[in-house]
Amino acid sequence: MRSVALAVALTCLIAAACCAQGSYVSVWGAEDQSQQSTSSWYGNVGLIVTPSAYTPPASAATIGGHWVDRAPDATWVANVNFGLTRDLEIGGAWIEQPNADAEVVVNAKYHVDAAKLLGEANLPDMAVGVFDVADEINRSIYLVFSKSFRVDSSKPDGARINLHAGWGVAEQDGGPLDGFFGGVEFRALKDALVQAEFDGDAFNADIRYNVTPAVSVEVGVLDGDLGAGLTYRSQF
């Protein structure tokens, strides 16, 4: 039943994107990492669960809310992310899980401009960060790399694909961001971003549809459970 609901939701979003004017044009035009940033469902700039090496512009903020259909009851997540500087972000999430007290996690991440530091333009972006600083759920210290590639090198403003890979060390063995994690994202449509990842413990995927430049809706699957949410971005 969950798989059917997910398929229907994803189909509806893709159909809506195709109906929009010019939505068949696949573009990821910005080279700047601040223009490639999306907030994860848990308050990092990243994919669904995993962080990327990108950070938001200074003073830019996101706020969002998500629901995950976990048995026997749903999990609710509210998240926020803020760029203190161009390279330093803080974020967090309020998580209410079935049969458990609500938890608040705080995250921090610093973007390292390796290309500028080492004088090599083709190096990937790099960041170091901490998920769940206070160890309310399972703190993880991680290093992550991100790189954007043109799908067609003959078109400078054409479609792109982003690859992310990292390694985390968690306080407790197992779970997200413990060991290797990574993901991929691409704009199959002008206003729809597709993301898929392995978070160190499970496979997740979603599609983000931009209703407006500032607001997106997300539908996805986290470790086999259907999820959905809404995100508002300022100054992205």
Least confident of 104-113, 215-224, 227-236: 227-236
Burial class (CB in 10 A: 0-12, 13-18, 19+), 228: middle
Using the predicted structure, report yes or no on whether residue 179 has a pLDDT greater than 70: yes
Q: What is the pLDDT of residues 183-194, one digit of tens each?
A: 999 987 788 999
* Token reading at 140: 């993880």
Q: How many domains does the chain have?
A: 1
Q: What is the pLDDT of residues 44-101, one digit of tens each?
A: 999 999 999 999 999 999 999 999 998 778 999 999 999 999 999 999 999 998 777 8
Give the side-chain half-sphere CA count within 13 A for 50. 37
Task: Please report, for the domain that includes residue 60, its CATH number.
Answer: 2.40.160.40
* Beta strands per DSSP E along 33-159: 61-68, 75-83, 88-96, 103-112, 125-131, 140-150
Give the global pTM. 0.82
- Give me the count of residues in the chain: 236
Residue 39: give the domain boundaries: 2-234
